[in-house]
């Protein structure tokens, strides 16, 4: 299906922002414009009302995690937690399990990650946030997409799946000195030029 003008313009603006960003970061307000262009957001009592927008944003988060699962497998080959989270998001979106069940499964794996003595858990957190997106959508106000101005200003519990996936690619958060800007930039280029289109088509 043909992309809307809104999503086309959001991708162009995001590409320009990424091109000029010295550390290969696709900043939060720019990502929010992508989310908003994917469709409207309606949340009632912390639960997303299932519609085109949340389905596309969940698919976008899903694709981002799927892209970085190989990084997880290198460190935790016997742990299939991220794959279970992706399956949980899919089952919830297909109405095969309820909100409470999906939330509990996500919370259990999140707790497991917090107890893991390794810094290589960003993929796991990203996978948990795919479930969060399916349940409650991404956090953004269409009337104020510039606030907050950065992921650094958020609690890590509020970081979205795609940001966690970029952390996995870069080896750390963008503001940390040892981070790898080249790998991060490659991830965001893939995100803009392939994943967004696939997410758009998933609910057309």
pLDDT at 179 over 90: no
pLDDT at 204 over 80: no
Q: Which residue has the higher pLDDT, 179 or 144?
A: 144
43-60 mean pLDDT:
96
Give the whole-number percent of the chain exceeding pLDDT 90. Answer: 94
pLDDT at 1 over 90: no
pTM of the model: 0.96
pLDDT band at 90 (very low <50, low <70, confident <90, very high): very high
- Whole-number pLDDT of residue 118: 79
Q: Taking the domains of the chain in order of start, what are their residue ranges?
A: 5-202
- Whole-number pLDDT of residue 86: 98
Q: Tell me: the pLDDT tens digits for 153-166? A: 999 999 999 999 99
The separation between the first and the last C-alpha atoms of the chain, rounded to the nearest angstrom, is 7
pLDDT band at 49 (very low <50, low <70, confident <90, very high): very high
pLDDT band at 95 (very low <50, low <70, confident <90, very high): very high
pLDDT at 101 over 80: yes
Mean pLDDT of the chain: 96
- Whole-number pLDDT of residue 19: 97
| Alpha-carbon span 40 to 167, nearest angstrom | 27
Q: Where are the alpha helices (DSSP H) in the chain?
A: 5-20, 28-37, 52-75, 81-93, 99-114, 122-136, 161-170, 181-190, 196-202
Give the whole-number percent of the chain exceeding pLDDT 70. Answer: 100
pLDDT band at 5 (very low <50, low <70, confident <90, very high): very high
Q: Which residues contact 88 (CB under 8 A, 6 or more apart)?
A: 97, 102, 105, 106, 131
**Which two tokens mark 41?**
């957001």
- Whole-number pLDDT of residue 177: 76
| Alpha-carbon span 38 to 191, nearest angstrom | 14
**176 close to 147: Cβ distance less than 8 angstroms:** no
Q: Tell me: the pLDDT tens digits for 120-150? A: 899 999 999 999 999 999 999 999 999 999 9
């Amino acid at each position: 299906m043909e992309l809307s003008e809104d999503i086309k313009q959001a991708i162009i603006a995001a590409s320009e922002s990424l091109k000029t960003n010295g550390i290969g970061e696709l900043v939060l307000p720019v990502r929010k414009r992508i989310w908003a262009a994917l469709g409207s957001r309606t949340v009632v009592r912390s639960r997303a009302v299932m519609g085109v927008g949340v389905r596309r944003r969940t698919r976008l988060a899903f694709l981002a995690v799927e892209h970085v699962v190989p990084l997880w497998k290198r460190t935790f080959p016997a742990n299939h937690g991220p794959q279970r989270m992706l399956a949980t998001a899919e089952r919830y979106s297909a109405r095969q399990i309820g909100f409470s069940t999906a939330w509990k499964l996500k919370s259990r794996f999140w707790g497991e990650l917090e107890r893991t003595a390794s810094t290589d858990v960003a993929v796991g957190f990203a996978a948990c946030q795919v479930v969060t997106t399916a349940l409650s959508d991404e956090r953004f106000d269409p009337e104020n997409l510039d606030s907050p101005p950065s992921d650094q200003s958020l609690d890590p519990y509020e970081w979205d799946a795609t940001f966690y996936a970029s952390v996995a690619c870069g080896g750390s958060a963008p503001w940390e000195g040892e981070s790898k800007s080249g790998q991060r930039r490659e991830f965001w280029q893939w995100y803009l030029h392939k994943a967004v289109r696939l997410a758009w088509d998933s609910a057309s």
